[in-house]
């Protein structure tokens, strides 16, 4: 810290030395001595004489890093219901993902809450048993008495390739009771 003193000429009887403390011939003086109240080493946040403000650069990098971190945290929190539904292989995964996208683009948080609740709830799987029942009913409807395939182990070979017919060891056990007509 270098001390700069400005001399002011007044039309008073006060001598110049009392006003500025220097000789009256100099208007602006640059004194090479440090002010007694100034610290000998300036703090780190005071920019140097070359104009490089290191504290501003450090704070700029810190601000960009914090903004990036908050953005990543926001995206992770926003995709929480979708990740929960995907991790547990829920049937309603697509619905949860669509609710998350709707809440992202409309800024209506009720869709995100609905997606979160839907991701936490286990919906029963009606599709697999119904498909099994439909397949069994179709097999029963296509079977007529006296046709090949009516008795276990007596299935017609309807393949049109050159593979040999399956052996009894490769066939699944089809022993079922068929007298529930």
Asked whether the beta carbons of 93 and 85 are under 8 A apart, the reply is yes
Confidence band, pLDDT 50/70/90 cuts, at residue 53: confident
Confidence band, pLDDT 50/70/90 cuts, at residue 37: confident
Rounded Cα distance between 31 and 158, Å, is 110
The dihedral region occupied by 89, where left means phi > 0, alpha psi between -120 and 50, and beta the remainder, is left
Contacting residues for 2 by C-beta, under 8 A, at least 6 apart: 30, 31, 32, 34
Model pLDDT for residues 26-36, shown as the tens digit of each residue:
555 666 777 78
Range scoring the smallest mean pLDDT among 1-15, 41-55, 76-90, 116-130 = 1-15
Instruction: Give residue 30's pLDDT.
Output: 65
- For the chain, the structural domain boundaries read 2-34, 54-120
Rounded Cα distance between 64 and 72, Å, is 12
Model pLDDT for residues 55-99, shown as the tens digit of each residue:
888 999 999 999 999 999 999 999 899 989 888 887 788 899 999
Reply yes or no on whether the pLDDT at 164 is more than 80.
Answer: no
Q: Containing H/E element for 33?
A: strand 28-34
Rounded Cα distance between 85 and 37, Å, is 66
Higher pLDDT, 67 or 49: 67
């Amino acid at each position: 810290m270098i001390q700069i003193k400005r001399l002011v000429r007044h039309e008073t009887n006060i001598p110049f030395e009392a006003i500025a403390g220097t000789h009256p011939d100099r208007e602006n003086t640059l004194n090479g001595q440090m002010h007694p109240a100034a610290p000998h080493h300036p703090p780190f946040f005071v920019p140097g004489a070359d104009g490089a403000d290191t504290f501003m650069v450090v704070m700029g990098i810190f601000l960009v890093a914090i903004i990036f971190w908050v953005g990543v945290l926001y995206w992770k929190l926003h995709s929480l219901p979708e990740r929960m539904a995907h991790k547990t292989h829920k049937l309603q995964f697509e619905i949860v993902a669509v609710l998350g996208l709707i809440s992202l683009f409309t800024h209506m948080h009720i869709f995100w809450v609905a997606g979160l609740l839907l991701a936490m709830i286990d919906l029963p799987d009606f599709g697999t048993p119904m498909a099994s029942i439909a397949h069994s009913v179709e097999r029963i409807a296509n079977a007529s008495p006296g046709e090949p395939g009516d008795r276990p182990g007596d299935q017609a070979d309807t393949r049109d390739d050159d593979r040999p017919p399956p052996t009894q060891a490769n066939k699944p056990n089809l022993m079922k009771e068929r007298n529930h007509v």
